[in-house]
Structure formats: structure tokens, C-alpha cells
Amino acid sequence: MSLLSITRYSALSLVFLLNAPITAAEISQERWLKLNQAAVNEHILPSYNILAEKSKTLAMASASLCAAPSEENLRNAEAHFIDTLNAWQSIQHVQFGPIELLMRNFTIQFWPDKKNLTSKQLNIILKNQDPASLEPEFFRTASIAVKGLPAMERILFADDALKQIEENPYRCQFLQSVSDYLVIQTDNTNKEWQEYKQEFSTLTSEEGIYESAQEASIDIMKAQVEPLEVIRDLKILRPLGNEGKAKARRLESWRSKNALQNIQMNIQSLHHLYSGLKDYSLFQLLKEEGATDLADSIEQQFITIETTLEKIPTPLSQHLKEPKVKEQLLLIAQELKQLHESLDKTMPALGLQLGFNSRDGD
């Protein structure tokens, strides 16, 4: 069966499932509360804790590199950068709560950088070598383009990175300063969630952010649904370009050759949020409401996407223009669209309205 036939078959099957009548549910606040607490305690809190710990290890590796530049210390710092990047990709979909404070989400990773602001502004800083730019006060007012993972990636994974660090120690000093600032951001986010989690632990509240457990569930469901569109449009279709003009430098994290793994981490994390929570999950809730076929279909779509991703060669930047890889990525894009539609259609059936999507109209 050809790719086109498979895609059409999948689409027709999905249409049938989505058009099957599902009665709007009247779900108790107790069940929404159970779902919220499972998502927070089993998914969100552990992920932020891992991110904070990986950031600290990266900072130590950066300090070691600056103290004694060597090929071994560079490789060690690069490895810990990848670990931190993977940890971020696993929680990147959560765009509410403490991560929104002072635009921490964009501070950690400013992407897509369509105007290449990170490179432009970083080059100015590295050229000027102002000692003040190494101080914490600088990062409080500096552009988000130069104080997160992309800035670090440009230094660690530059051509002749070690040689450049040896010839210009300021490069490594700024790397370490960015790394130290990243620790502050991830550690504060992790700690502040210890208080913010209380917003997801009550049935109703007149003083909290959410008036009910169901209302709190909306943010969690947005984190489940909306990132699929970002992955499809920005991480896959945008680099593929129009008329076959693929552009590898549009890939996320192409310098560190982690673009494919980023997508894999995204999907694995969203899959975990959907059905991997032990206490309670959206997968279980759908089944309880009689939408067993749809629940199983969504689960299978996650598995299919993960399986297809495993077949794509890495680094993606070196294989993006290959016809077979392009075909695989287009298939994944189609599957992501279907998965997004499947999940989106479940919301009204569960009595939820996700509301405005910040990407609408883009």
C-alpha cells in the first residue's frame, strides 16, 4: 500500500471515529481533581525537577571547561547540554504557571529565531567582552535571545569550539554565566511549582487562580493538545519548506544535531501525559465516558508516530533533503494533524472548551 493510500485510509478511519456520536459528559469535580493531581504529581513536577538538576550539572560542566579547556571537558559539557535540552523538551509543552513569569519559557529557549537575533546579539557581546555582561544583573535586563540554551549551543557546538575558547576565554566565561542564569530560572520554576501545585489540589476556590478543578484541567488539556500543532508546523513543515526547498538551519537545535531527538522527547512526553499516568489519565477518563474506540485510536496514533520517528536517520539536518526522509516527515505531519484533531474533538465531549489558541491566525 502506498504512502498516499495509507494516509487516506488513516484519514477516513479517523473521520469515522470523530463523527461517531459522543454524548457530552457531566464529569464530577472529583474526577477532574484526580486528573489534575495525577498530571501535576506524576508528570509536571518530576519533569521540572529533572530540568533543574540537569541545569545544575551543565553549569558544573561549563565551569570545568572554562577552568581547564580540553577536548574531554568540551565533550562533557556538550553531553550535559544535550541532557538539559532533552529535559527541557520533555516539559516544553507546559506553557502555564511559574514558567510564564518574566517570560522564563522564552528565556530558557528563544525559538524559532526567524531573524537570527541570538547569533547577532551574541556576536556583539563576545566582540565587546564587557565584564559587566558576565554579571547576574546583566541577565535581568538582557535580551531573551542571549540568555538561554540557544546561546549556549552556539558556543559549545561552534566550528572549532575548543580553539575559539582557548583563543578567547571570554567565550567560555559568557557560556558559564548563561549556564548559571539558566540554573536560577529552572531552579526557581521548580521551587515555585511546590506552591503553585496547590491551585490543582482543590475542587472549588473563590480566591485561587481557578474557580474549579474542571477549570484547572483546561490548562493541562491545552498542554496536551496545542503543542502538536507547534511540532508539526514549526519543527517539521517549516524546515521542509515549500516546493521541496528544505532548509536544515530551520530545524530546532540543528547545531547540536538534536532536532530529531527533540521531536521524539516532545511526543514521548505528550504520550506520557495522555496515557502514562498511573493514578488517572485522559486515556482512562475517555474510556470511562464510553469513548473506548477513540481513546484506543489516540493511543495507537501516539505509538505510530513514535515508531515512524525511530526509523528516521539522525542527525536530521544531514538527511532532511533525502526523498525517503521527507516522505516519512510528511507522514508524521499528517499523523500529528490527525492526532491533534482527535484530541481536540474530545474536549467538547468532556465538557471542556480550550478557548483561544495563541497560534490562531499565525
Residues 131 and 242 in one domain: no
Section 125-147 average pLDDT: 96
Q: Render pLDDT for 273-293 as a digit per residue (tens, 0 to 9).
A: 999 999 999 999 999 999 999
Report yes or no on 249 lying in a domain: yes
User: Does residue 205 lie in a domain region?
Assistant: no
Query: Where residue 24 falls among pLDDT bands split at 50, 70, 90?
Result: low
User: Crossing angle for the helix pair 149-156 and 71-89, nearest 10 degrees?
Assistant: 150
Asked if 60 and 166 sit in the same domain, the reply is yes
> How many angstroms separate the CA atoms of 268 and 90, rounded?
8
Give the cell for residue 61.
560542566
Within-domain flag for 328? yes
Supply the pLDDT for residue 19.
45
Is the domain of 234 the same as that of 193? Answer: no
Please check whether residues 191 and 54 belong to one and the same domain. Answer: yes
pLDDT of residue 354: 86
Residue 23: pLDDT band with limits 50, 70, 90: low
Identify whether 37 is part of a domain: no
Determine the average pLDDT of the residues in 135-143: 95
User: How do residues 180-195 score in pLDDT, each as one tens digit?
Assistant: 999 999 999 999 999 9
d(Cα 284, Cα 162) in Å, to the nearest integer? 51
Same domain, yes or no, for 175 and 230?
no
pLDDT > 90: percent of the chain: 87
Residue 284 lies in a domain: yes
Q: Which residue is it, cell 482543590?
A: 202
- Mean pLDDT, range 138-147, rounded to an integer: 96
Q: Calculate the average pLDDT of the chain.
A: 92
Whether the CB-CB separation of 197 and 40 falls below 8 Å is answered with yes
Q: How far is CA 130 from CA 62, 133, 153, 171, in A?
A: 19, 6, 21, 11
Whole-angstrom Cα distance, residue 223 to residue 219? 6
CB contact at 8 A, 201 and 33: yes
Other beta carbons within 10 angstroms of residue 181's beta carbon come to 22
pLDDT value at residue 5 = 40
CB 314 within 8 A of CB 261: yes
pLDDT at residue 355, rounded to an integer: 72
Task: Specify whether 301 is located in the same domain as 173.
Answer: no
Look at residue 356 in the predicted model and tell me its pLDDT.
Answer: 56
Under the banding of pLDDT at 50, 70 and 90, the label for residue 357 is low
Say yes or no: 77 and 168 in one domain: yes
Q: What is the pLDDT of residues 323-343, one digit of tens each?
A: 999 999 999 999 999 999 999
Count of structural domains within the chain: 2
Both 110 and 244 in one domain: the answer is: no
Please count the other Cβ atoms lying within 10 Å of the Cβ belonging to residue 12: 10
Query: Which stretches of the chain are DSSP H helices?
Result: 3-19, 29-39, 45-67, 71-89, 104-108, 117-128, 136-141, 149-156, 161-167, 169-196, 213-225, 227-230, 238-240, 259-271, 282-288, 292-310, 316-319, 323-349
Instruction: Tell me, yes or no, whether 112 and 16 share the same domain.
Output: no
Residues in the chain, overall count: 362
- What Cα–Cα distance (Å) separates residue 16 from each residue in 250, 346, 347? 36, 14, 17
- Using the predicted structure, report yes or no on whether residue 206 has a pLDDT greater than 90: no
pLDDT interval class at 9 (50, 70, 90): very low
Residue closest to 64 by CA, chosen among 73, 72, 55 = 73
Q: What's the rounded Cα separation, in Å, for the pair 172 and 63? A: 8
For the record, the C-alpha cell of 213 comes out as: 478543578
Domain boundary at 151, 183, 198, which? 198
Q: How confident is the model at residue 242 (pLDDT cuts 50, 70, 90)?
A: confident
7 with 80, same domain?
no
- Within a domain: 260: yes
β-bridge partners, 212: 204
Contacts of 150 (CB under 8 A, 6+ apart): 109, 110, 111, 113, 118
Measure Cα distances from 51 to 147, 199, 223, 245 in Å.
16, 22, 18, 35
By residue range, what is the domain housing residue 105? 49-198
Confidence bin at 12 (pLDDT 50/70/90): very low
Q: Does 292 reside within a domain?
A: yes
pLDDT at position 53 over 70: yes
21 belongs to a structural domain: yes
Average pLDDT score over residue span 201-228: 95
Task: Looking at the structure, tell me whether residues 188 and 310 fall in a common domain.
Answer: no
Q: Which three cell numbers stand for residue 275?
A: 496515557
Predicted pLDDT of residue 26: 83
Q: Which residue has the cell 519559557?
A: 105
- Average pLDDT score over residue span 65-87: 98
Higher pLDDT, 81 or 3: 81
- Whichever domain contains 77, its CATH number is 1.20.1420.20
